[in-house]
């Protein structure tokens, strides 16, 4: 069984892509509310908050830990710089966050590359079972819901989400290069 991220993904055997919303902070999500009609981002934020409450760290630390666990599950462990991008923190803030996670025994920093300067972030052996215990029920329900669709149907959905993601990724580099779609109007 894989871990669930709390944003519509199940980690492990089956993959369900999502719209990448990592750059939105928890305080921005508060305005969206968390009622029955909440957007997927609000659900993700709620899962992260509950994981943080259950595990003990601040929600930003828990979000970083979830990113580290997810990247490991995907076979693409993160470097501190990549984590910094994914949780929208400066390199200095990320270094402090990683020190807290390391001191709490949640992560380890390793040097797995032939370039010994490259640091790889890994979850500690103690944290994975705890994360699986927390996200297990979610992962089971997601797998059950996904099992009602054919592999072709899921692939079609993944293709659609990939198209949306690539469209969203090109906007900042092109139309929104200056911060918006064009000159500001009063």
Q: Are 58 and 116 in contact (CB under 8 A)?
A: no
| 110-122 tens-digit pLDDT | 888 888 888 999 9
Whether the predicted pLDDT of 83 surpasses 80: yes
Q: pLDDT exceeding 70 applies to what percent of the chain?
A: 71
Tokens of 150: 């054919």
- pLDDT above 80 for 173: no
Please give the model's pTM, rounded to 2 decimal places. 0.63
For residue 82, what pLDDT is reported?
92
Q: What is the pLDDT of residues 119-139, one digit of tens each?
A: 999 999 998 899 889 988 988
Q: How confident is the model at residue 174 (pLDDT cuts 50, 70, 90)?
A: confident
User: How far is it, in rounded angstroms, from Cα 180 to Cα 186?
Assistant: 14
Q: What is the pLDDT of residues 86-102, one digit of tens each?
A: 888 999 999 999 999 99
List the one residue out of 94, 40, 47, 102 whose CA is nearest residue 70.
47
Contacts by 24-28 with C-beta closer than 8 Å and gap 24+? 25/88, 26/59, 26/60, 26/63
| Mean pLDDT (the chain, rounded) | 76
The Cα-based distances of 5 to 75, 93, 138 in angstroms read 15, 23, 9
Residues in Cβ contact with 108 at an 8 Å cutoff, skipping those fewer than 6 apart: 102, 121, 122, 123, 124
pLDDT, one tens digit per residue, over 12-65 is 333 333 323 333 333 333 333 333 333 445 656 787 788 888 888 888 898 899
């Amino acid at each position: 069984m894989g871990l669930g991220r709390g944003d519509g993904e199940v980690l492990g055997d089956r993959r369900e892509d999502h719209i990448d919303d990592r750059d939105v902070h928890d305080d921005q999500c508060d305005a969206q509310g968390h009622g029955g009609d909440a957007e997927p981002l609000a659900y993700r934020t709620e899962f992260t908050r509950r994981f943080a409450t259950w595990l003990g760290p601040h929600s930003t630390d828990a979000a970083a830990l979830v990113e580290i666990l997810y990247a490991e599950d995907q076979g693409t462990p993160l470097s501190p710089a990549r984590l910094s991008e994914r949780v929208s923190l400066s390199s200095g803030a990320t270094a402090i966050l990683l020190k807290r996670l390391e001191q709490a025994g949640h992560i380890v920093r390793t040097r797995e590359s032939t370039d010994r300067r490259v640091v790889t972030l890994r979850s500690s052996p103690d944290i994975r079972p705890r994360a699986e215990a927390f996200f297990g029920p979610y992962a089971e329900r997601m797998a059950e819901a996904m099992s009602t669709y054919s592999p072709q149907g899921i692939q079609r959905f993944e293709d659609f989400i990939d198209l949306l993601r690539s469209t969203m990724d090109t906007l900042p580099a092109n139309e929104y290069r200056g911060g918006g779609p064009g000159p500001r109007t009063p």
